Structure 1
């Protein structure tokens, strides 16, 4: 339950990503600066935190041990996750991107066999119960999007939908792989800073491309990207990484925590209504929101039930 609550709180701050990215695109900002500036702004925050906690040396030793793994999975977890999302913001509204992004709750379940093994060493199977509940949540998300379908062009679908699907797989894949590489030897702040530093060359290259093609960002875009970096990059990422760290060894509980990201849709709808003057959702969308809430309750109950079953087995065996 603690992981689920942290995940929902993270979703509140993650919602800033979709709202402000769309706002920046509407005001003429480039996706190149929306993505690269966010991560460049995050580095000083996490560097100060890790330095203050006296953990820089441990992080350095860990990266030095496995530099290629750090660069590869930081690229997947940060660059391949966020660059497609900001690119897609130029071709679709926040509700479409946020709704499509929720495919990550299914993607996270589908990659379970890559990271977990049973007691006999055989790769774990896809947790079908969690998958069914996540599909229910995804049904709610589809209902939210349904009343917008007629206004969506094929270009919007291809360029506003497919990049987000790539991001939906990249984020849980990079996050889980880095947890595996770190093996519990680093805390959340060290892991995030390590991924920021390992992905820094890619963001600098992207910034160079931005200077050469679209020029320097406007003051407005810098300010909005800083807000996204603080709310989504620092606060939300830390909360979500804490939540996934709590349940990293339990695939069903991890699926439940990752499914909390579905609540982003609700916060994005509210945010766009307040900040971008988008109209109120219709009754079909509210029905979708209700289904999402029911799915989250099911995930929570299922996770708690699996914990009780395991505890009872351990008591009987002892």
Structure 2
């Protein structure tokens, strides 16, 4: 359990770059569609090179064959777990600071047990009750934001993140179920590529491509600047490849529902890392009393949640 949590926290450090850099690109006038989609275009190139230089080219080719064989499954899992999730997260950065988006994103800790229940997995009721503490913290953060920017803007920043908080664990759980091969409505995929974190990221990334194509065609955003292209590349490396691989590694080491939930709830650390990043890089002011109270509640909820799961 400790190793899973440690790797999850390290993943949260790299994940936090998403919130900071997306906010930076939004403030510079970059369109959210490009901030979202370019990250995944970068990831395909990065993953292809990395699999080649690490001697996993054959495994990468096997992953492509898995995608062709189960293209519908990977399109659904990738479009929801990577596409819907990240499109909404990036859209929210137009309306709210990165640390607020990161704090609201912690509702995924509440969403994860509900997703697990939806897949027929058992979740300790005591642990589920403790996620309410985290949710109250998220509410306090957004209440403080509403007092300075207005309710309408906060809703535009918060509601998409709430939907994204369900999309991400749902997409990842689909992959976990496919690997386990125990769910009647999910294809059983037993292959060495499913044990490799980078291959799983590649498969989910390929599955998200149709959604990005649809968004680009229908929204027709203005062409991105070179700065936005470079920044999305940084996000792709730090968050899309390093953080996602670490997170999926932690999640797929889980041998029980309790360990799965513990891996997911380490993402609370993204709030702290994002707040520090915005203060240092973007010069944002620190939150007020209500904001700090919300952050403390999310962290307290994390510790209590993991403690209950560990004893269970």
1:270 aligns with 276
SS at match of 1:147: helix
Deviation at 1:251, TM superposition (A): 1.6
2:187 aligns with none
Paired residues, number: 296
Deviation at 1:90, TM superposition (A): 1.3
SS at match of 2:223: coil
Contact persistence 1:62–1:182 (CA under 8 A): no
Distance across 1 between alignment mates of 2:208 and 2:37:
10
SS at match of 1:293: helix
Contact persistence 2:34–2:221 (CA under 8 A): no
Alignment equivalent of 2:266, drawn from 243, 260, 267: 260
In structure 2, relative to structure 1, the CA distance for the partners of 1:293 and 1:88 (3 Å cut) is: closer
In structure 2, relative to structure 1, the CA distance for the partners of 1:297 and 1:112 (3 Å cut) is: same
1:280 matched to 2:289? The reply is no
Deviation at 1:281, TM superposition (A): 2.7
Deviation at 1:218, TM superposition (A): 0.6
Distance across 2 between alignment mates of 1:85 and 1:293:
21
Q: TM-score, normalised by structure 1?
A: 0.86
Deviation at 1:287, TM superposition (A): 3.7
In structure 2, relative to structure 1, the CA distance for the partners of 1:193 and 1:149 (3 Å cut) is: same
What RMSD, in angstroms, separates the aligned Cα atoms of the two structures?
2.0
Higher Cα radius of gyration:
1
SS at match of 1:19: helix
1:24 matched to 2:25? The reply is yes
Contact persistence 1:107–1:168 (CA under 8 A): yes
Contact persistence 2:145–2:154 (CA under 8 A): no
In structure 2, relative to structure 1, the CA distance for the partners of 1:294 and 1:153 (3 Å cut) is: closer
Gaps of 5+ in 1: 116-122, 307-318
Distance across 2 between alignment mates of 1:69 and 1:80:
15
SS at match of 1:111: helix
Deviation at 1:245, TM superposition (A): 0.7
Alignment equivalent of 2:171, drawn from 167, 170, 174: 174
Contact persistence 1:263–1:292 (CA under 8 A): no
1:315 aligns with none
Deviates more, 1:296-305 or 1:235-244: 296-305
Distance across 1 between alignment mates of 2:26 and 2:127:
36
Deviation at 1:125, TM superposition (A): 4.2
Deviation at 1:8, TM superposition (A): 1.0
In structure 2, relative to structure 1, the CA distance for the partners of 1:95 and 1:139 (3 Å cut) is: same
Gaps of 5+ in 2: 181-189
2:223 aligns with 216
Distance across 1 between alignment mates of 2:32 and 2:121:
38
Contact persistence 2:79–2:210 (CA under 8 A): no
Q: Deviations over 1:26-63 (max 9, x none)?
A: 11110011001001011112123334313024313322
Distance across 2 between alignment mates of 1:285 and 1:87:
22
Q: TM-score, normalised by structure 2?
A: 0.87
Deviation at 1:205, TM superposition (A): 3.9
